[in-house]
A and B are shown apart, each in its own frame.
Chain A
Amino acid sequence: MNETAIRFENFYYGYINGNVVLHNVNVDIGKGSFTVISGPSGAGKTTLCKAMVGIIPYYYGGRYAGNVEVLGETTKGKRVSDLSMRVGLMLDDYESQLVSLTAGEEVAFGLLNHGFAPNEVEARTKQALADVGLPGRENYQLDELSGGQRQRLLLASVLAVHPEVLVLDEPVSAMDPDGAHALYKLLYKIYQEYQMTVVVVEHNINFLLPYATNMVVMNKGKVAAQGTFEQAAAMAYEVPELRPNLPELWQIKLNLEKRFNIKLGAWRKAEDAIKELQGKFVGGELR
């Protein structure tokens, strides 16, 4: 059996003075998986994310039932800092997470707070900057970096602590498509290199189609689909309101599979789809 990195058991949550936003969530995120959490706006994706790293309930309070386990430990009664050595978090509003003047200080900030020795801080900072494609930029001022570079810097400061699980909440929401593709490509490279568990909240599944091993689809505070990417996509396809959020290639795949009662490949790239479609189908109004 695969080990679990994050487990939600019968989890309910409501913000203070608010309605219950997560209803009976049961989710298993496997160790070593690259999981995308998707769903329409207001589905509860970000709340789920905050519960994974202990921000909920520690900072937000609110009403809570059930249990969340991260790497075998319950988040109940834990401070965020207790978990942050093992679970790294990157929020969508990356500018608000940057606190220092130079790139080197920014990466070192977290390490120093965790009490690493100075030589270790220096070595890890160097490595983390290299990992995100900013080698030797320790002395750069933050305003000398572009938006995309600042976002990668934030990723470096999360990575430097060597977390076992990396959680990212809509990391590309403020980026153009080129920047988004580049960030996810980099993330995948890091995922492979360090064999960590990666969880990404992203409504545009297209960006992650080449990479995601698993998927959780949320809808109105409930889990609408989960499992391997293939399983979850097939389940989400059956819900009319979720269908448009699936990658178009997979809408085509699932449509044709259903209509002709056949099985097509697990397309991750447009070329795969075009090749298989051209081999098996013809277009036209005939018949």
Chain B
Amino acid sequence: MIEAKAVNFAYHRGEPVINDISCKVENGEFVALLGHNGSGKTTLSRLFMALLHPRSGEVLVDGVNIENLEPADLAHQVGYVFQNPDLQILEDTVFAEVAYGPRCKKKSETAVKEQVDAALEAMGLSDLADAYPRTLSFGQKRRLGVAAALALSPQTLILDEITNGQDEQEKNNMMAYLERLNQEKGITIILITHDMNIAREYARRAIVLQNGDLVFDGTTADLYDGKRELSEWGLSQPIIATLSARFSVEGQTAAEFCEKLHLKEGAIG
């Protein structure tokens, strides 16, 4: 469980970036952290894992104030996957890359192997264990980033824009892996994203930030009801949500929406 209590934050010499935010993410939740550029969502997520510390207020992980901790202390509780997988890759094989974290924790090689195998298996990378990481496709590198975080068996995974620059199939592939982690292993997922379709389809709860303020905290069904004006927060309703609301039908995909439509009498002459 991660809890922010009246958290404020500003970078050196800068304007406040996070204003008095309080929120709580329970174990097993699937949360989308949304907001326009510069709204503070990446900053907030970094406060959740002690990569940054609040100016005032507190962040609690499993009820413990993390003000004197570092990311490494929290790595077995909160895993963080960065936007650009290339910047995270250090080792010469996929296995070694994923083993890096557990080895730093001085685990026995047997334990390392067990954890790495499980993480690779969970992200569909078992067959690539001996591959050179830089030869992987972009989507595979992204999954490698997640596997590396998973190898420390954290309760919570924070993922920053990990579907950017991927095609629909790769995106859905990645999200299916995350959904399985969430549902089968009960791992808490906090997904920072600009992709409203992904947030609507996979997250159950949304937290929206605007200029460092928390402006929405509720279910994604409520956020994407197609009626709410999201543009003031720098977000947009997914087009299917807008259309579904206009026609009072329910549909997650274009095909589902179309099934619910009927031609008006005499509409086509």
A residues contacting B by CB (< 8 A) are 40-42, 170, 173-174, 176-179, 203, 241, 244-245, 248-249, 251-252, 255-256, 259-260, 262, 270, 273-274, 277-287
Residues in chain A near residue B263, CB distance under 8 A = 260, 262, 280-281
The tally of residues in B whose CB lies under 8 Å from a CB in A reads 38
CB distance from A19 to the nearest CB of B (A): 14
12 inter-chain pairs at a CB distance below 8 angstroms, sorted by A residue, are A177-B194, A178-B36, A245-B167, A248-B239, A251-B254, A255-B254, A255-B255, A274-B243, A281-B247, A281-B264, A282-B247, A283-B248
Binary flags per residue of B228-249, CB closer than 8 Å to A gives 1, else 0: 0000001000111011001111
Asked if residues B262 and A173 are in contact (CB atoms below 8 Å), the reply is no
Check B169 for interface membership: any CB of A closer than 8 A. Answer: yes
For B36, B239, B254, the residue with the greatest tally of chain A CB atoms inside 10 Å of its CB is: B254
Residues in chain A near residue B23, CB distance under 8 A = none
Q: How far is the CA of A286 from the CA of B264 in the complex (A)?
A: 12
A274 and B264 contact, Cβ closer than 8 Å, known pairs A40-B169, A252-B258, A255-B258: no
Residues in chain B near residue A252, CB distance under 8 A = 243, 254, 257-258
Q: How far is the CA of A176 from the CA of B41 in the complex (A)?
A: 13
Check B170 for interface membership: any CB of A closer than 8 A. Answer: yes
Residues in chain B near residue A42, CB distance under 8 A = 137
Residues in chain A near residue B247, CB distance under 8 A = 277, 281-284
A41 and B137 contact, Cβ closer than 8 Å, known pairs A176-B37, A245-B167, A284-B249: yes
Residues in chain B near residue A260, CB distance under 8 A = 263, 268
- Smallest CB gap from B84: residue in A: A174
Further pairs besides A244-B169, A270-B242: 14, Cβ < 8 Å: A41-B137, A42-B137, A176-B194, A178-B37, A244-B168, A248-B240, A252-B243, A255-B254, A256-B258, A281-B247, A281-B262, A281-B264, A283-B260, A284-B249
- Smallest CB gap from A285: residue in B: B260
Residues in chain B near residue A282, CB distance under 8 A = 247, 261-262, 264
Asked if residues A173 and B258 are in contact (CB atoms below 8 Å), the reply is no
Q: How far is the CA of A271 from the CA of B164 in the complex (A)?
A: 26
Residues in chain A near residue B102, CB distance under 8 A = none
Asked if residues B138 and A41 are in contact (CB atoms below 8 Å), the reply is yes
Check B166 for interface membership: any CB of A closer than 8 A. Answer: yes
CB distance from A39 to the nearest CB of B (A): 8
Check B267 for interface membership: any CB of A closer than 8 A. Answer: yes
The answer, among A241, A249, A279, for a CB contact under 8 Å with B169, is A241
- Smallest CB gap from B168: residue in A: A244
Check B14 for interface membership: any CB of A closer than 8 A. Answer: no
Within 8 A of A (CB), among B22-37: 36-37
Asked if residues A277 and B243 are in contact (CB atoms below 8 Å), the reply is yes
Check B63 for interface membership: any CB of A closer than 8 A. Answer: no
Residues in chain A near residue B262, CB distance under 8 A = 281-284, 286-287
Asked if residues A259 and B260 are in contact (CB atoms below 8 Å), the reply is no
Asked if residues B194 and A170 are in contact (CB atoms below 8 Å), the reply is no
